[in-house]
Amino acid sequence: MRVSHALAILVLFAVAACAGVLGLRSSDPSHPFEHRAHVMKGINCVECHAGVSTAGDTGPLHFPSDADCRRCHTKPHDERACSGCHGESFVRGAAELAREHLRFEHANHMPAVNGDCVHCHTAVAETRPEALRPKMATCFGCHKHEDQWTLRDCDGCHVDLTAEDTPPASHLVHDGDWIREHGVRAASERDLCSSCHSERSCAACHGVGTVPTLPAKMAFDDVTLPGLHRAGFRSRHGDEGRADPGLCTTCHSENSCIDCHTASHVSPAGTRHSPHPPGWITTGAGGGEHGQQARIDPVSCAGCHGGAGEQLCVDCHRVGGPGGNPHGSDFRSTKNKLRDLPCRLCHGSGR
Amino acid sequence: MRADAVADTQSETESPTGLIVLQGQDKMRPWVDAEGLVWAGAKPDATGDVLVLAIHLRELHGYGDLRVGRFVLATGAVFPVQLDGADGIGRTPWGSSLEAFGGVPVVPRFGSRAYDWLVGARLAQTLASKVTVGFSYVQRREYGDISNQELGADLAAVPFRWLDLAAKAAYDLTSPGISDARLSAAVRVGAVRTEVFASEQSPGRLLPATSLFSVLGDFPSQRIGGTVRWWAAPRLDVLVSGAGQLVGRELGGNGWIRSTLRLDDLGSGSLGVEVRRVDVTTARWTGVRVVGARSLGGGFRFSSEIEIVVPDEPNRRGVAWPWGLIACSWRAKSGWEVAGAIEAASSPQYRYEANALARISRTLEFR
């Protein structure tokens, strides 16, 4: 046998062995209902889901009973309830939530689609349980709702969208690196975000005062929770901040650095715990690395040296001083240097 | 009415601290709701802070909204500002909207206020439910003088079901130049979603204009990269991201790959591995993180997480920073939950460090 054939057989065995782990084959006897097989047999939906065509916004959910199944399956393979394994456990919860959160009547829709359930339940033949509930895009196939969509008026169908707390499935995607991505996506559609998210979602990061209790910190046992502060973040936080200027101050005030470093005895500079590397400030030409870094990431500097600490800069960076002009070569500003802050801190006295 | 309270206590930091969340909605009066979020701390000085206290009024057909109180203003290309003030928006059925806002920027806790205020507006138009274009302006004054003026433009477009575009840019009129620009384009085909992104950000924009450091940040951070998410199998996700970055005059980059394998259909157990490389200015390191969680039955759950970061230049901070955690939790049907963990690390601050973590919680729900 050629090596390539042996390798191919080995890969096939490996995939087969891992099929359960990858979710390709489930070990749980319960499984999505075999809608496809029943549809292919030409069985009309309402033969099992009796009464659904006249169902209103309240009442039972019209799941088939064992008696419904046994009208055809006269010799069941098991005495247990059919729905225990065949699908119901997958969809009952979602159906109950839909009944609670949506304003919907099958009775109104059945005449419009001539009793063709598949018109809306387009993915009924798929085995994925989440495919049974029509996506919102399917609703929009007939109900344009353009005015309501434009006006963010969701109450026509959704009882209480915020309380519904349902991840958007069909019209929004929170995939990929969403923490980075959400800012540009929200710019044009802030009110769309607020359809589901309340004020505190924004304030948790973008408020002036920092929320001290992050979900990732509280849920230390949920290791799959995403978040910037996972695992050994405290060790690498300085490098994380330098690699993405401004990232830290999205949530933290510029005083957070000095507050925490003081509490942790990692300041001031000059001690063996100095956060600055060797060669940070030199007396020769260029002044060391601090000037370059201050122009790349002044926010980090302000983290410790803001407020009264700014005097540390002015002591050197003044006309005639050893630090010279701190502005970049292409620095421009429309501010009045004698009157406006922060210009007047240096220039106000005619310096 | 919904109320949540969270308390957190640690030995080293300001402690104990907590959050109180109140949210009120009335189905009989759906045109009004209110929300409050209060942080409270006990050490070193008893204090607290109101982060959100807002009343939201809306016209029931969506023609207008009004927020009054303390909230985060995040609209258009304008940088988010926490505001004590009002924000109103009017919409028309043909897709136009006008938003106007004004107020006093929030000062943390009970800090003193100068003669500071902020006003702005955003005009937007939606075309064929596929494209939204907006233009915004904001003027901020501190001590009575203009400290910041920005013009912004934003765009969101979904021309096809598989293509999603978003962009925004803000131009600083006070220190002329682009202060923030971002672009994101995402394509979704089958089990793969690919996003390309680019950004330019002036770091000086993030500081109060009264800070001396705000006049130093003239080196923008420019970044271009991409992210791919692949649902490789029903239980297996793979996420890859990489970006090139120009910070100051230095070119760098970072990239990572993360894979998660769920051990059952409900996701109650999983294995994950992540490898990351960062090489930007003086931040250069490589890290590996492995996580695992498994439901043990009877409400018990075991989880573990290990990370090792190796900096390129230790600078007396240690040649590697290992970190590990072993946790176990138990959730009762009554709503009680107990979790405990041991965390151990060797960090730049401590050669050896071990912490014990515990959490007890109780969920109560009244309907």
Q: Do A66 and A130 fall within a single domain?
A: yes
Cross-strand partners of B270: B262, B293
Q: Supply A176's token pair.
A: 């990929």
The predicted-structure confidence for A123-162, as pLDDT tens digits, reads as follows 777 666 666 778 777 787 787 776 676 666 777 788 777 6
> Least CA distance to A306: which residue of chain B?
B211
Distance CA B188, CA B206 (A): 33
A210: number of Cβ within 10 Å: 18
**Chain CA centroid to CA A104, Å:** 29
**Closest C-alpha among B310, B220, B25 to residue A163:** B25
Look at residue A214 and tell me if it is in a domain: no
Distance CA A123, CA A28 (A): 23
Distance CA B18, CA B346 (A): 29
Q: Do A14 and A39 fall within a single domain?
A: no
Q: What is the pLDDT of residue A152?
A: 66
* Torsion (CA) A13, A19, A22, A24 in degrees, nearest 10: 140
- Closest Cβ–Cβ partner in A155, A235, A310 for B323: A235
Q: How far does A295 lie from chain B, in Å, by closest CA? A: 4
Q: Do A6 and A51 fall within a single domain?
A: no
SS3 content of chain B, % helix, strand, coil (to 5): 0, 70, 30
Q: What is the pLDDT of residue B119?
A: 95
What is the Cα Rg of chain A in Å?
Answer: 32
Cβ density class B197-224: b for 16+ within 10 Å, e for less: bbbbbbbbbbbbbbbbbbbbbbbbbebb
The predicted-structure confidence for B7-21, as pLDDT tens digits, reads as follows 666 655 556 667 788
HEC sequence for A98-146: HHHHECCCHHHHHHHCCCCHHHCCCCCCCCCHHHCCCCHHHHHHHCCCH
- Closest Cβ–Cβ partner in A184, A243, A297 for B167: A184
Distance CA B156, CA A209 (A): 30
Look at residue A218 and tell me if it is in a domain: no
> Least CA distance to B165: which residue of chain A?
A185
Mutate: best of B72, B78, B110, B212, partner A, most A CBs <10 A: B212
- Mean local confidence (pLDDT), A78-107: 79
> Helix (H, G, I), strand (E, B), or coil: what is residue A252?
coil
Is B289–A220 a contact, with Cβ atoms under 8 angstroms apart?
A: no
CB pairs under 8 A between A and B: 371
Q: Do A72 and A124 fall within a single domain?
A: yes
Is B176–A334 a contact, with Cβ atoms under 8 angstroms apart?
A: yes
For residue B103, with 0-12 CB atoms within 10 Å meaning exposed, 13-18 middle and 19 or more buried, which class applies? buried
Chain A residues lying within 8 Å of B125, measured CB to CB: none
- Closest Cβ–Cβ partner in B132, B161, B304 for A188: B132
Distance CA A166, CA A270 (A): 53
What is the Cα Rg of chain B in Å?
Answer: 24
Count of domains observed in chain A: 4
**Closest C-alpha among B205, B162, B215 to residue B182:** B205
* Torsion (CA) B181, B187, B191, B197 in degrees, nearest 10: -20
Contact between B84 and A142 (Cβ < 8 Å): no
Among A22-31, A300-309, B107-116, B254-263, the range of highest mean pLDDT? B254-263
> Least CA distance to A172: which residue of chain B?
B164
Look at residue A154 and tell me if it is in a domain: yes
Is B349–A264 a contact, with Cβ atoms under 8 angstroms apart?
A: yes
Contact between B61 and B88 (Cβ < 8 Å): no
> Least CA distance to A346: which residue of chain B?
B212
Look at residue A326 and tell me if it is in a domain: yes
Q: Do A280 and A342 fall within a single domain?
A: yes
Examine the pLDDT at B57 and tell me if it is beyond 90: yes
- Closest Cβ–Cβ partner in A26, A220, A245 for B341: A220
Contact between A343 and A335 (Cβ < 8 Å): yes
Listed residues A134, A156, A171: the one ending a domain: A134
H or E, element range at A241 = helix A233-243
Examine the pLDDT at A64 and tell me if it is beyond 80: yes
Is B65–A177 a contact, with Cβ atoms under 8 angstroms apart?
A: no
- Closest Cβ–Cβ partner in A203, A245, A332 for B82: A203
For residue B339, with 0-12 CB atoms within 10 Å meaning exposed, 13-18 middle and 19 or more buried, which class applies? buried
Is A299–B203 a contact, with Cβ atoms under 8 angstroms apart?
A: yes
Is B41–A212 a contact, with Cβ atoms under 8 angstroms apart?
A: yes
Cross-strand partners of B91: B97
Is B193–A263 a contact, with Cβ atoms under 8 angstroms apart?
A: no
Look at residue A234 and tell me if it is in a domain: no
Domain that holds residue A14: 1-27
**Chain CA centroid to CA B235, Å:** 27
Instruction: Label residue A119 by pLDDT band (50, 70, 90).
Output: confident
Examine the pLDDT at A268 and tell me if it is beyond 50: yes
- A120/A265: higher pLDDT: A120
Listed residues A177, A197, A217: the one ending a domain: A197
Examine the pLDDT at B361 and tell me if it is beyond 60: yes
Q: What is the pLDDT of residue B298?
A: 85
Chain B residues lying within 8 Å of A131, measured CB to CB: none
pTM to 2 decimals? 0.76
Distances (CA, A) of B316 to A241, A268, A288, B112: 19, 17, 19, 41
Mutate: best of B101, B140, B211, partner A, most A CBs <10 A: B211
Examine the pLDDT at A270 and tell me if it is beyond 60: no
Q: Do A122 and A189 fall within a single domain?
A: no
* Residues above pLDDT 70, as percent of chain A: 75
Average pLDDT over chain A, rounded to whole?
75
**Closest C-alpha among B194, B196, B172, B193 to residue B182:** B196
**Closest C-alpha among B88, B46, B92, B37 to residue B67:** B88
Is A341–B209 a contact, with Cβ atoms under 8 angstroms apart?
A: yes
Q: Do A104 and A171 fall within a single domain?
A: no
Examine the pLDDT at A88 and tell me if it is beyond 80: no
Say which residues have a Cβ less than 8 Å from residue B40's Cβ, sequence separation at least 6. B17, B18, B19, B20, B47, B48
Distance CA A302, CA B112 (A): 20
The predicted-structure confidence for B223-278, as pLDDT tens digits, reads as follows 999 999 998 887 888 999 999 988 777 788 999 999 999 887 667 788 999 999 99
- Closest Cβ–Cβ partner in B108, B147, B283 for A253: B108
- Closest Cβ–Cβ partner in A149, A220, A243 for B357: A220
Chain A residues lying within 8 Å of B234, measured CB to CB: 22-24
Is B145–A22 a contact, with Cβ atoms under 8 angstroms apart?
A: no
Q: What is the pLDDT of residue B12?
A: 54
The predicted-structure confidence for A312-342, as pLDDT tens digits, reads as follows 777 777 666 777 777 766 677 777 777 777 7
Q: How far does B297 lie from chain A, in Å, by closest CA? A: 15
Q: Do A128 and A174 fall within a single domain?
A: no
Q: What is the pLDDT of residue B198?
A: 95
Q: Do A321 and A290 fall within a single domain?
A: yes
Examine the pLDDT at B99 and tell me if it is beyond 80: yes
Chain B residues lying within 8 Å of A222, measured CB to CB: 293, 303
The predicted-structure confidence for B285-318, as pLDDT tens digits, reads as follows 999 999 999 988 888 999 999 999 999 988 777 8
Examine the pLDDT at B338 and tell me if it is beyond 90: yes
B358: number of Cβ within 10 Å: 10
- Closest Cβ–Cβ partner in B54, B145, B183 for A199: B54
Q: Do A326 and A253 fall within a single domain?
A: yes
> Do the bridges between strand B177-189 and strand B163-172 make them parallel or antiparallel, or are there none, so unpaired?
antiparallel
Q: Do A5 and A98 fall within a single domain?
A: no
Look at residue A208 and tell me if it is in a domain: no
Chain A residues lying within 8 Å of B292, measured CB to CB: 223
Is B265–A207 a contact, with Cβ atoms under 8 angstroms apart?
A: no
- A16/B230: higher pLDDT: B230
Look at residue A202 and tell me if it is in a domain: no
Is A239–B283 a contact, with Cβ atoms under 8 angstroms apart?
A: yes
Look at residue A282 and tell me if it is in a domain: yes
Examine the pLDDT at A254 and tell me if it is beyond 70: no
Q: Token match 């433009």: residue? A: B153
Q: Do A21 and A56 fall within a single domain?
A: no
Q: How far does B23 lie from chain A, in Å, by closest CA? A: 9
The predicted-structure confidence for A198-246, as pLDDT tens digits, reads as follows 787 787 777 766 555 555 567 788 887 777 788 888 888 888 887 877 7
